[in-house]
A = this chain, B = another copy of it.
Amino acid sequence: MGNAIRRIGVLTSGGDAPGMNAAIRAAARTCFHLGIECVGIRRGFNGLINGDDEVLNYSRVSGLTRMGGTMLYSARSAEFRTEAGIEKAVNTCKLLGLDGIVGIGGDGTFRGLHDLADHGIAVIGVPGTIDNDIACSSYTIGYDTACNTAVECIDKLQDTMQSHERCSVVEVMGHRAGHLALYVGLACGATAVLIPEKPVNFEEDVIEPIRRARLSGRTHFMIIVAEGVGSSYDVANKIKEATALDTRVTVLGHIQRGGAPSARDRVTATHMGYSAVMLLASGKTDRVVCMQDDKYIDYDITEALSMKKGLDEDKYTVMRTMIGQHNKV
């Protein structure tokens, strides 16, 4: 059949996430299984613009499931946001004879893929970001590893906070979304969790839980702050003022982006990389692989981008129950 897929390009774009390498490997392996050639595009859409690529063979992707980062590098591309940039990218696709592109990243990546689709390139997106803030998918590659990394760091902080009877304020990733902060806060038994989705009554939501915990016998405290909430140093100062506690700030930062991926991220990435190639092979395009209700499905990219993801209100209620806080009405 003339339209059969013979050669697929794979790229990672936007902020990197643990598991991207496993998705690359899975896409490549699925290609090999189907007799399709697989080409790695380096540095996101810049690689399409500049012809920065390498053929991926079995050995090149061997052992990748356990590797953090992305062997194809990732980048944001200003040039790709121009029509001239897109044209260059399309021309590279023609030159290399790429019948399809698998792009792993976030919403920005999907928008870029959609632009390529508009120019006749078959594309499939795979959600990869540690923030889990992609609306179409209940889970995104890298989230589990980032949560575990944050939790392991916070466990260590608990030890030294215990010794010195201090209050720890930990800033975790999440500019617009508090998914990670809430999850991590629940996991480490935080005394309070501050997220951008919920207004904070400082006295009621932070100081009172600290006081109740202290009166119940606890002598050290853990406050989790999503970075989008504002300065964690301000939070710490306000706690210190109100309670006289010795309060210390830790900004986890980029540590949360790295590390060997967890089992869950490796398996999810492998499944999604596989699904992306299977979709291209079956003639689909302009879609994104998603997890919904614990199943792997796919959405039209435009539809996916129009979705909204709210906070998990149940988890928020559970968190407030754990700290003895009645839910807001």
Q: Which A residues fall within an 8 A CB radius of B?
A: 12, 16, 18, 20, 25-26, 29-30, 32-33, 57-59, 62-70, 73-75, 138, 144, 147-151, 153, 155-165, 168, 183-184, 186-189, 213, 216-219, 248-251, 253-255, 257-260, 262-264, 266-267, 270-271, 274, 292-296, 314-315, 318, 321-322, 324
Contact = CB atoms under 8 A, between A and B. Distances in A.
A258 to B, nearest CB: 3
B186 A270 contact: yes
Copies of the protein in its oligomer: 4
Contact of A163 (B57, B64, B70): B70
Given A59-B218, A324-B32, A250 B254 contact: yes
Q: Is the interface of A mostly helix, strand, loop or mixed?
A: helix
Given A69-B162, A271-B315, A318-B271, A148 B262 contact: yes
23 contacts: A12-B163, A25-B189, A32-B324, A58-B216, A59-B217, A59-B218, A65-B188, A73-B162, A73-B163, A74-B164, A75-B165, A144-B264, A150-B263, A168-B254, A186-B267, A187-B266, A187-B267, A187-B270, A250-B255, A251-B253, A271-B314, A274-B318, A293-B295
A126 to B, nearest CB: 14
A207 B266 CA distance: 25
Contacts of A322: 26, 29-30, 33, 270, 274
Given A75-B164, A251-B251, A189 B258 contact: no
A271 to B, nearest CB: 5
A134 to B, nearest CB: 15
Contacts of A253: 248-251
